[in-house]
């Protein structure tokens, strides 16, 4: 006989369902009289009730090995989605009566069935259903994002020990865990949908373990604002798929089973394989993973596990990632050694200076690039940036001292070479280092960030060579040294400004990058970063002025290039326009293609037109070519 077990307050709903059950012999029994149930007389169960009542009957059906069909009410939308139950009562009754040939796994938490999910600790938004975003505008999703992000202040890491079905033990630090058996449209299930199968004898435990607010923000934004499920598991999330997991945190954590507080840790989650013949929709089986395996699936290697990190994160989640003691010690030891002016450093630097200076004289870019690769001046600069970040006086002094010694050595070497070579000709490679602009500062900032990132990761240390080429520290100092040798102080000051620009940009950006990578707490780092930010602002003033001048020059060249002028009897076209800045009056060099030899009046007319187009006083130097 089919037994329909229902909640006492659902009598009207049961009467409506009864109109579609008239052709069947049904025994109706309210949950208040469940004690009178004789399971030996039952051939199939139907159930309508709240989640706890449904789970109670699922347990009975499991123990008695009887099939079960759920007829959900219209309020139980998440239950309908999870098991693909119809919304219309007629269809829901028909499906509930259809006995499933496949059996589902059942997840138990300390002996209690978990229908949707079990949440240990706090794991937003993994424990939320994606229906929370349905019908919400972009602005509403942004507000939800900020509300969820505010909760990060209350999230506290706890050191947790996990033991799987094979008694393997795993230690990690996390703020919350979500255990689930079915693809139930929560954010947790969306992340691991490819791993979820309802009859493989395993459940999945999703672990939220953000090591920084920045990393957590990235996952939240993708999930709540862009409504986009990451294709790869976020860095702050891990999971274990197993038949059994025991969870033992150092500090007690609350446990919610299907959104109701039930227990505190420690707990044991265990799957009963193929335990219940539950009548579900065809779409439910279509959502199951096609990849099944007898092996447990574990992805927690990227989560924090060491005691030091766990203790640090237990106080609060930092804005940036915290570098481990081992990682910091290795980098700090290396930087402290590189901050000193060793014999090797001086030999390489002087050789690089000689190569760069000769390359500047012969106007060879490839030779200058070779000098950039050889020069070790980047090492003490990066060391100085760490000293600035950590407020480490010895590291700052050693780094600054080594940089000063290196710069003086380069200036002296380049000046001596300039005095020894009887050629005083400004090459294009020299000229390229005499007009620093704010764009050069941007290059230095990006290069500094790249240098710090490469320095912190041994796997990509080889990238430092590319950084050295991009930022070019020695060539501008060598040009400044040549300016000393030629007694051209304008040349010296312009080239040395480019080096100062590179130095300031690298130190500031490298210190900021090291802070983001977690090599210093913000309260310690902010003083040094603020000071160097002010230095960057000061250096920006002449650079911005030069940038404005460059824009003006480009505008002038654009106005004059290919300008056609009728000066009287003849027509003139201007080409190859070049602006040369002089201390007294700027000069404009150009070529003029004329239809004939210009008279004095026509030349004056040409000059007037040129000056009118550039809107400033300048000396005009023209090379004439004649069109035949």
Chosen CATH of 112-315 out of 2.60.200.20, 3.30.420.40, 2.60.200.40, 1.10.579.10: 2.60.200.40
- Residue 144's pLDDT band (boundaries 50, 70, 90)? confident
Residue 329 to residue 337: CA distance in whole angstroms: 12
Q: Among all chains, which residue has been given the structure tokens 């970040």?
A: 389
At residue 282, does pLDDT exceed 60? Answer: yes
**Which DSSP symbol is given to 39?**
G
Euclidean distance between CA atoms 114 and 205, whole angstroms: 13
pLDDT the model gives residue 291: 64
H or E stretch including 566?
A: strand 564-566
What band does 352 get if pLDDT is binned at 50, 70 and 90?
very high
Of 170-184, 198-212, 327-341, 477-491, which range is least confident?
A: 327-341
Residues making up the chain, counted from first to last: 628
Q: Is the pLDDT of residue 515 over 60?
A: yes
Nearest to 368 by CA among 409, 454, 427, 455: 427
CB atoms within 10 A of CB 510: 30
Alpha helices per DSSP H over 151-230:
187-191, 213-220
Q: Residue ranges per domain, the chain?
A: 2-99, 112-315, 325-544, 561-626
pLDDT (mean) for 515-520: 78
pLDDT computed for residue 375 by the predictor: 84
**Cα angle vertex 251, ends 245, 252, to 5°?**
70
pLDDT band at 208 (very low <50, low <70, confident <90, very high): very high
Using the predicted structure, report yes or no on whether residue 261 has a pLDDT greater than 80.
no
Question: pLDDT tens digits for 530-549?
Answer: 889 999 999 888 887 777 77
Tell me the pLDDT tens digit for each residue of 545-563: 777 777 777 778 887 887 8
DSSP string for residues in 84-99: T--SSHHHHHHHHHS-
From the list 279, 275, 285, the residue with the least C-alpha distance to 47 is: 279
Average pLDDT on 279-284 reads: 89
- DSSP assignment of 523-565 equals HHHHHHHHHHHHHHHHHHHHHHHHHHHHHHHHHHHHHHTT-EE
In tens, the pLDDT along 400-446 reads 999 999 999 999 999 999 999 988 888 989 988 888 888 888 988 98
Token pair in block for residue 309: 């990190």
CA distance 100 to 413: 87
What pLDDT was estimated at residue 468? 61
Query: Do the first three CATH levels of 2-99 and 112-315 match, i.e. the same topology?
Result: no
Model pLDDT, residue 270: 95
Q: Has residue 219 got a pLDDT over 90? A: no
- In angstroms, the CA 7 to CA 13 distance is 10
User: Distances in Å between the alpha carbon of 496 and those of 367, 408, 411, 437, 592?
Assistant: 21, 12, 10, 13, 37
DSSP 126-156: TTSBGGGGTT--HHHHHHHHHHHHHGGGG--
560-586 per-position pLDDT tens digit? 887 888 888 888 888 888 887 776 788
Question: What is the rounded distance in angstroms from the CA atom of residue 54 to the CA atom of residue 115?
Answer: 9
Q: What is the model's pLDDT at position 479? A: 94
**Residue range 321-333: mean pLDDT, rounded:** 67
pLDDT at 317 over 60: yes
Calpha distance 125→146 (Å, rounded):
12
CATH architecture label of 2-99: 3-Layer(aba) Sandwich (3.40)
Strand-by-strand arrangement of the 278-279 sheet: 26-30, 2-6, 44-48, 68-70, 278-279
- Determine the pLDDT at residue 326: 61
Cβ-in-10-Å burial (0-12, 13-18, 19+) of 274 comes to: middle
Give the per-residue pLDDT at 628.
Answer: 65
Most confident of 158-167, 294-303, 313-322, 330-339: 158-167
Q: What is the pTM of this model?
A: 0.67
Q: What mean pLDDT is predicted for residues 212-229?
A: 76
What is the pLDDT at residue 88? 92
Q: For all residues of the chain together, what is the average pLDDT?
A: 86
Mean pLDDT confidence for 201-226 = 84
Integer Cα distance of 585 and 95 in angstroms: 93
Structure tokens, 76: 């139980």
DSSP conformational letter for 200 = S
Q: Give tens-digit pLDDT for 30-46.
A: 999 998 899 999 999 99
268 — pLDDT class (breaks 50, 70, 90): very high
Angstrom distance (rounded) from CA 3 to CA 26: 6
CB atoms within 10 A of CB 461: 12
pLDDT of residue 478: 94
Tokens of 504: 């300031």
Which 3-state string (H, E, C) describes 485-510?
Answer: HCCCHHHHHHHHHHHHHHHHHHHHHH
Give the separation between CA 258 and CA 58, rounded to whole angstroms: 14
- Is residue 556 within 8 A of residue 579, CB to CB? The reply is yes
Q: What is the pLDDT of residue 549?
A: 72
pLDDT at 328: 67
What pLDDT, on a 0 to 100 scale, did the predictor assign at position 139? 85
pLDDT at 254 over 70: yes
> What does the pLDDT look like over 450-499, one tens digit per residue?
888 888 776 655 555 666 666 678 999 999 999 999 998 889 988 999 99
What was the pLDDT predicted at 147?
A: 84
């Amino acid at each position: 006989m089919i037994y329909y077990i229902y909640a006492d307050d659902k009598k009207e709903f049961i009467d409506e369902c009864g109109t579609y059950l008239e052709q069947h012999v049904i025994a109706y029994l309210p949950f208040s009289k469940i004690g009178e149930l004789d399971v030996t007389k039952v051939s199939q169960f139907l159930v309508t009730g709240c989640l706890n009542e449904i789970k109670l009957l699922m347990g009975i059906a499991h123990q008695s090995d009887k099939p079960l069909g759920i007829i959900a009410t219209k309020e139980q939308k998440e239950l309908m989605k999870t098991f693909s139950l119809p919304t219309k009562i007629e269809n829901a009754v028909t499906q509930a009566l259809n006995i499933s040939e496949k059996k589902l796994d059942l997840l138990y938490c300390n002996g209690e069935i978990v229908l949707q999910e079990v949440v240990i600790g706090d794991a937003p938004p993994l424990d939320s259903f994606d229906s929370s975003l349905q019908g919400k505008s972009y602005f509403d999703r942004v507000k939800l994002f900020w509300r969820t992000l505010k909760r990060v202040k209350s999230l506290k890491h706890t050191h947790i020990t996990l033991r799987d079905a094979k008694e393997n033990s795993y230690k990690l630090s996390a703020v919350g865990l979500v255990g689930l058996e079915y693809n139930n449209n929560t954010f947790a299930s969306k992340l691991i949908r490819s791993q979820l199968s309802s009859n493989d004898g395993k459940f999945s435990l999703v672990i939220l373990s953000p090591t920084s607010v920045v990393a957590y923000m990235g996952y939240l934004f993708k999930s709540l604002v862009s409504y986009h499920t990451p294709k790869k598991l976020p860095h702050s999330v891990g999971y274990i798929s197993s038949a059994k997991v025991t969870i033992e945190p150092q500090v007690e954590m609350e446990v919610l089973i299907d959104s109701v507080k039930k227990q505190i840790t420690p707990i044991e989650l265990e799957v009963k394989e193929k335990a219940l013949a539950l009548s579900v929709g065809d779409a439910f089986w279509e959502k199951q993973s096609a990849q099944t395996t007898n092996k447990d699936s574990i992805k927690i290697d990227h989560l924090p596990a060491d005691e030091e990190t766990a203790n640090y994160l237990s106080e609060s989640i930092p804005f940036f990632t915290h570098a481990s003691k081992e990682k910091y010690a290795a980098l700090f030891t290396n930087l402290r050694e590189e901050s000193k002016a060793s014999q090797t450093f001086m030999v390489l630097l002087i050789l690089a200076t000689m190569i760069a200076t000769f390359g500047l004289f012969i106007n060879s870019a490839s030779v200058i690039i070779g000098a950039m690769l050889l020069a070790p001046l980047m090492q003490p600069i990066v060391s100085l940036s760490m000293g600035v970040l950590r407020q480490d006086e010895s590291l700052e002094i050693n780094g600054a001292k080594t940089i000063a010694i290196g710069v003086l050595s380069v200036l002296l070497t380049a000046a001596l070479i300039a005095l020894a070579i009887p050629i005083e000709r400004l090459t294009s490679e020299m000229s390229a280092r005499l007009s620093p602009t704010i764009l050069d500062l941007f290059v230095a900032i990006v290069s500094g960030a790249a240098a710090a990132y490469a320095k912190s990761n041994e796997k990509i240390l080889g990238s430092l060579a590319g950084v050295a080429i991009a930022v070019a520290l020695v060539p501008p100092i060598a040009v400044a040294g040549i300016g000393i040798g030629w007694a051209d102080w304008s040349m010296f000051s312009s080239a040395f400004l480019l080096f100062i620009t590179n130095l300031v940009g690298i130190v500031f950006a490298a210190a900021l990058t090291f802070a983001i990578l977690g090599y210093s707490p913000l309260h310690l780092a902010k003083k040094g970063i603020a000071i160097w930010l002010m230095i960057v602002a000061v250096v920006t003033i002449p650079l911005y002025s030069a940038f404005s001048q460059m824009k003006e020059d480009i505008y002038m060249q654009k106005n004059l290039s290919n300008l056609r002028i009728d000066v009287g009897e003849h027509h003139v076209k201007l080409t190859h326009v070049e602006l040369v800045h002089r201390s007294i009056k700027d000069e404009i060099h150009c070529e003029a293609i004329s239809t004939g030899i210009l008279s004095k009046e026509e030349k004056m007319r040409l000059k007037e037109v040129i000056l009118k187009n550039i809107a400033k006083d300048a000396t005009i130097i023209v090379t004439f070519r004649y069109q035949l």
